Structure 1
Amino acid sequence: PSALGVAVDAARALAYVGLPEASYALHHAALYLAVAPKSDSVKRAMGEARRAVEETPGATVPPHLRSAGYRGAEALGHGVGYRYPHDHPEGIVPQQYLPDEAAGRVIFRPGRAGAEERLAEHLAEVDRRMGRRERRE
């Protein structure tokens, strides 16, 4: 999860101080990226999200997630029944976030490399509390 930040910081160093001073930052970034655990889980999630949108044209945002900050929203059901995750222990609220047409679809499947293993463990607990199937392949 730090690779992008390292790369961006190296680019900033190059932009701010130029060469040869930024050489150290660029080498540091290259070495870090070379040995960092590799994963394409974000790329795969992006593709899965795109497919979900393409395969469910016309799908609508669940009413409880729609904006409720205007007069008449409640009459339309917008925001009604929304449960604010920050008000609940560990920020986990069993409510539907995807449209009905895509409910239950798994978009992100973490890999087993680096920090993704810990993320996978956390998501398994979230999925259990949400009553969802496991997201491992």
Structure 2
Amino acid sequence: MRTSYLFLISLLFISCKQEVSWDQIHHLNGYWEIDKVSFPDGTEKSYAINTTIDYIEVAGKEGFRKKVQPTLKGTFDTSDDAESFTLLERNGGISMHYKNELSEWEEKISSLEQDRFSTTNQEQVTYHYKRFTPINLE
């Protein structure tokens, strides 16, 4: 009886797990700021203020991520540096695969909504982002 009960609870958790779908990928486009980082040991680091923002642009299964700095005028200072990535389907999920001359890495998109998303890297560190909203001084 106990085994059946544990099986049913496990099945419930597995069936409730929501994977990111290709229909949601367009939500990645735009400006994002890091909200917090969750480490495998259960600790978290929160970010109250961000001096740099990530700009992400996706077209099909290709995209890039660029660091930008918001200004008080409502514009962004940026460089021409960007990290290109390819979106890949792996183990029922979607990952952002980066490759440059120096290294190669992958981040699984753990969750994706219009105003929030998170990625988990190979070291099981999860980065939580929220949509950037400019500071309005008026």
Q: TM-score range by the shorter chain?
A: under 0.3
Which entry has the higher C-alpha Rg, 1 or 2? 1
TM-score by length of 2: 0.24
TM-score by length of 1: 0.24
**Which structure dedicates a bigger proportion of its chain to helix?**
1
**Which structure dedicates a bigger proportion of its chain to strand?**
2
Q: Greater relative contact order: 1 or 2 (C-alpha under 8 angstroms, separation 6 or more)?
A: 2
